[in-house]
Structure 1
Amino acid sequence: MASGADVRNGPVGALIHRCSPCQGGGPGLQPCTGCHVIRYCCREHQMADIDGHMQTCHKISMARAKLDHEDKLIRKPNPMYRVPSNVFETGVGYFWEIPRTRPYMRARLALVMENLLPLGTLDSVREAHDHLGDMLRLCRMDTMAVREILPCIMLRLDRDQECYDFLKWWAMCDIDHDWDDFTLPYLDIHGADALEQPGLFIDKRPSLNYLVAVLILKLKLLVDVLNTKITRKVLAQRSIPTELHAQIQQTVVRSPLSADLYKHSHKALSETEQTLLTQICKLAVAITELNPYFMFDLFDPDEAMVATLGTYSPGSVEETDRAIQYSYATWWSTQGVLGLLESARDCAARASEGEIGELMAGDRFRKGAGSHRTPEQVLWDVSVNRLWGYLDFAIMDATYLGPWEERPSEVGIKMETEWDMELDQESESEWEGFSE
């Protein structure tokens, strides 16, 4: 997989065709005739990139050649390996149960994970999506856990409804589902309400990767609501023809599920905002309970992004490594999402600064394994743990247009600090009275 730095050097926003060297978009970009997933705006840029791209292009070509080789092997009926004739027709749905198809499936997954997804281009991500979707068609029970990878790819491609329907079907899939009965419905949920409560994903055999994908989707929708609200505030202060307001508001949302937000009243937007805030916090709590490492690695993903994936146990660092590698490119490219969380973490840090000295002076900290940490490191840890309690402040800041030193979070944190001081004084007075 690409490193965290590689992902952060990539573009933010919807995937579009871009020239590899200059990152310019627009029509007329020509794909490399070797790999077909890197594009160029002109011959000069292609030649300038030839040294850097040659190794990548060769690697993709070799991975495809490996897949083609395995494809040809299983297309030939072979009684010795129990490969039926026309296996891509007669074996659909239970491919993995035919042992000779497994090298083919592994080669296909390797092409996706080691070659296509790390590139992060529109062509490569689309091809990865199509490969994984077809692998699910071939093997319904998904022995290779493709279902854990695909949702965040759908979100990168802005196939948000498809993503939510997919996640909901797998979350509802009964543990005793009869995979040999092809008359049973399969991935047949369409048009599910992405604003519904997330209890299904939290209460029924929760999967870290599912929860992360649902969280990203809900945050994506929340950012669209906030962008719509702040755009309306800006438009109200500008001399822009009213008939253009709706058109402008449509350009500030990312998710296709948010296409009609411009029609919503201010009250409806605020209600949706509150609904999403509540659901996001529930999902965040569930993720933290399921795996305490994930949120920390989300803000500092470099080690997780280059970790070698292997077996893992629930709640482990290895599980977090996998979840970060599957999702971080989606987090990064969904503009506004990580920024909103960073703003909430900053609010939590400002609100917690006064507690760090007392925390580090306590016996529990001084005798603990992390006693070597600096105040800055402790504050960072505390702020990550507490950020979800300050997401409402970050949301208010995101739609605020006044003086920055008077932003809602600053006022709110100051009030919280004053209340805490008053409570401490009252507690001291009560204790003194009791002592007397």
Structure 2
Amino acid sequence: MADITSTASDYKGIVGPLRNRCAHCLSTGPKLLRCTGCLAVHYCSREHQAAHWPLHKSTCIKIKKARTKLAKEDVKVRNATEDFVTPANAFETHVGHFWGVLSTRDYMRARIALVMKLLIPGTLGSVSEALEHMRDMLRLCRRDNMGLREMVPAVMLRLDLDQECYDFVKWWATCDPDGTYDWGDMTLPYLNLHGADVFEDLGFLLGDYPDLNHLVAILLLKMKLLVDIHNLKIARRILSRSHLPFELRDKIELAVVRSPLSTKLQKEATESLSQTESTLLNHIRRLGAAIVEANGNFMFNLFDPDEALCCWPEAYSTGSWEEMAVALKNSYAVWWETEGVLSLLNDARACAARDSEDEIKDMIEGEKFKSGPGSYPSAKELLEDVSVNRIWGYLDYAAENASYLGPWSERPSEQHTRANKESWARAEEEDAEFDDLLDDDAWSDEEN
């Protein structure tokens, strides 16, 4: 995949659910025209297609070439000359362990290259087609030698296939607990998990060696549901002041949620909804801690992603910067498109920073920093690091803020911060008083 290049802007499209829309003016509608070159983007008129061509040309040509390349490799596999290592048609004879046939590998590489190019436009049609390709490639190669299982969950989330995403991740996490699953046995169940409980305990996922991409995907799914709960709580508070019929209230509540799984949450009473929110917050904190343990680079680069999004590592090791870059490229479009999740994390980070300011000031003024050779970070750099490291501990503050409708100065996090600062000030006063007492005792001893 060395020929795949991208820029940070490729991952930062329109916030919200994927829709078929004009690539030029972004309008939606039932009568959009599809580009006949790439079959991946739409336009509301020929004029807008012509106007957008300078921007679309490069992507269109790359996708068209990728389709042509795949078609040629498909023909080669289907019409191969049979010998002792090459079947006449691996599509018929080697479904399930396709990669084991050397003559199929150029085909598989051509297909994943098309997938990567289809993900760049970020349209409903192109992302849906990319997922169809990946699912079929997993059917052809059960063992997944190309690592598609790392990409699929985030693509499902982009398409709001949230239950399917959870089932997919859980199947891979639990399919081979003792290492005896026979990947070549087509009679064994494969990706057959459906309707797993999204709110169940996370023990199956948080093992000794969790997959970073899967941790990120489930974290995103949980945060997506958390944002929906916040939107439901706000909608209910506003609607409680109105006299709208219940039928209209239900429609409004459904309109403010994103995940299909939230249609069930919409039916819960407010008290039950708060309990579900508490469960989600607990899961999110655990997932966040697991991600930090799996790869300490991820959260820092999530807030400053451009460098990672512009590269494509050829290989990586567990816990490395390169592993983080791949995971971020796989998931960042979902972070960006899912309204509210990045805002929630940014608010949690801001809350952590406000609460840590006094502590950082004392650290900078401490003897260690005073006597250091200048290699220690500045107060600003130290605060940035601390705020990211403590983000999961302040998620509750951000969650309270997200459901708050009052003045900014009275947000729950502001109240918590004021209380914490007052507590910090009292602790400093008590320390000062204690030091004075020690000094008094020292003088008394000298006089005696």
Name the TM-score, length of structure 2 as normaliser: 0.93
Q: Secondary structure at the match of 2:390?
A: helix
Matched, 1:159 2:171: no
Matched, 1:43 2:18: no
8 Å CA contact 1:208–1:323 kept in 2: the answer is yes
More moved, 317-326 vs 302-311:
302-311
8 Å CA contact 2:41–2:125 kept in 1: the answer is yes
**Bigger Rg, structure 1 or 2:** 2
Q: CA, structure 1 residues 110+425, in 2 after alignment: closer, same or farther (shift >3 Å)?
A: same
Correspondence for 1:125: 127
Q: CA, structure 1 residues 309+368, in 2 after alignment: closer, same or farther (shift >3 Å)?
A: farther
Q: Secondary structure at the match of 1:202?
A: coil
Correspondence for 2:312: 308
Correspondence for 1:255: 259
Correspondence for 2:330: 326
**1:58 deviation in Å?**
1.3
Residues in 1 aligned to 2:130 and 2:79: alpha-carbon distance in whole angstroms: 26
Which string of whole-angstrom CA distances, capped at 9 and with x for unpartnered residues, describes residues 191-243 of structure 1? 00111121211125301001000100000011111110011011123343333
Letter in 2 for 1:71: D
**1:370 deviation in Å?**
8.7
Residues in 2 aligned to 1:227 and 1:337: alpha-carbon distance in whole angstroms: 12
Letter in 2 for 1:139: C
Letter in 1 for 2:361: G
**1:298 deviation in Å?**
0.4
Which of the residues 38, 56, 63 maps onto 1:53? 56
**1:183 deviation in Å?**
1.9
8 Å CA contact 2:157–2:165 kept in 1: the answer is yes
Residues in 2 aligned to 1:127 and 1:7: alpha-carbon distance in whole angstroms: 17
More moved, 353-362 vs 252-261:
353-362
Matched, 1:84 2:77: no
8 Å CA contact 2:6–2:311 kept in 1: the answer is no
8 Å CA contact 2:233–2:270 kept in 1: the answer is yes
Residues in 1 aligned to 2:61 and 2:337: alpha-carbon distance in whole angstroms: 27
More moved, 314-323 vs 200-209:
200-209
Letter in 2 for 1:418: E
Matched, 1:240 2:244: yes
Matched, 1:393 2:374: no
Correspondence for 1:116: 118
Which of the residues 347, 360, 382 maps onto 2:351? 347
Residues in 1 aligned to 2:7 and 2:372: alpha-carbon distance in whole angstroms: 32
Matched, 1:317 2:326: no
Which string of whole-angstrom CA distances, capped at 9 and with x for unpartnered residues, describes residues 377-432 of structure 1? 32222211111111111111111111111111000111112122223333444455
8 Å CA contact 1:16–1:25 kept in 2: the answer is yes
**1:2 deviation in Å?**
3.8
More moved, 380-389 vs 71-80:
71-80
Residues in 1 aligned to 2:58 and 2:401: alpha-carbon distance in whole angstroms: 46
More moved, 182-191 vs 47-56:
47-56
Root mean square deviation of aligned Cα: 1.9
8 Å CA contact 1:208–1:287 kept in 2: the answer is yes
8 Å CA contact 2:234–2:403 kept in 1: the answer is yes
Correspondence for 1:199: 203
Matched, 1:29 2:43: no
Residues in 2 aligned to 1:218 and 1:311: alpha-carbon distance in whole angstroms: 29
Q: Report sequence identity in percent.
A: 51
Residues in 1 aligned to 2:436 and 2:372: alpha-carbon distance in whole angstroms: 32
8 Å CA contact 1:74–1:83 kept in 2: the answer is no
Correspondence for 1:16: 19
**1:247 deviation in Å?**
1.0
**1:176 deviation in Å?**
3.2
In the TM superposition, structure 1's runs of 4+ consecutive aligned residues that sit over 6 Å from their partners are 366-370
Correspondence for 1:268: 272
**1:167 deviation in Å?**
0.2
Correspondence for 2:446: none
8 Å CA contact 2:10–2:121 kept in 1: the answer is no
Letter in 2 for 1:275: T
Letter in 1 for 2:30: P
More moved, 316-325 vs 347-356:
347-356
Q: CA, structure 1 residues 320+124, in 2 after alignment: closer, same or farther (shift >3 Å)?
A: same
Residues in 1 aligned to 2:368 and 2:132: alpha-carbon distance in whole angstroms: 52
8 Å CA contact 2:82–2:88 kept in 1: the answer is no
Matched, 1:177 2:189: no
8 Å CA contact 1:171–1:204 kept in 2: the answer is no
Q: Secondary structure at the match of 1:201?
A: coil
8 Å CA contact 1:215–1:280 kept in 2: the answer is yes
Correspondence for 1:421: 425
Residues in 1 aligned to 2:250 and 2:409: alpha-carbon distance in whole angstroms: 31
Q: CA, structure 1 residues 299+367, in 2 after alignment: closer, same or farther (shift >3 Å)?
A: farther
Residues in 1 aligned to 2:338 and 2:387: alpha-carbon distance in whole angstroms: 22
Q: CA, structure 1 residues 245+304, in 2 after alignment: closer, same or farther (shift >3 Å)?
A: same
Which string of whole-angstrom CA distances, capped at 9 and with x for unpartnered residues, describes residues 158-198 of structure 1? 00011000000000121332112222211111000111121
Correspondence for 1:357: 361
Q: CA, structure 1 residues 312+368, in 2 after alignment: closer, same or farther (shift >3 Å)?
A: farther
Residues in 2 aligned to 1:422 and 1:199: alpha-carbon distance in whole angstroms: 41
Q: Secondary structure at the match of 1:183?
A: coil
Residues in 1 aligned to 2:309 and 2:169: alpha-carbon distance in whole angstroms: 24
Which of the residues 271, 279, 285 maps onto 2:283? 279
Which string of whole-angstrom CA distances, capped at 9 and with x for unpartnered residues, describes residues 295-337 of structure 1? 0000100000012222111111011001100000011001111
Name the TM-score, length of structure 1 as normaliser: 0.95
Letter in 2 for 1:89: E
Letter in 1 for 2:33: Q
Q: CA, structure 1 residues 369+270, in 2 after alignment: closer, same or farther (shift >3 Å)?
A: farther
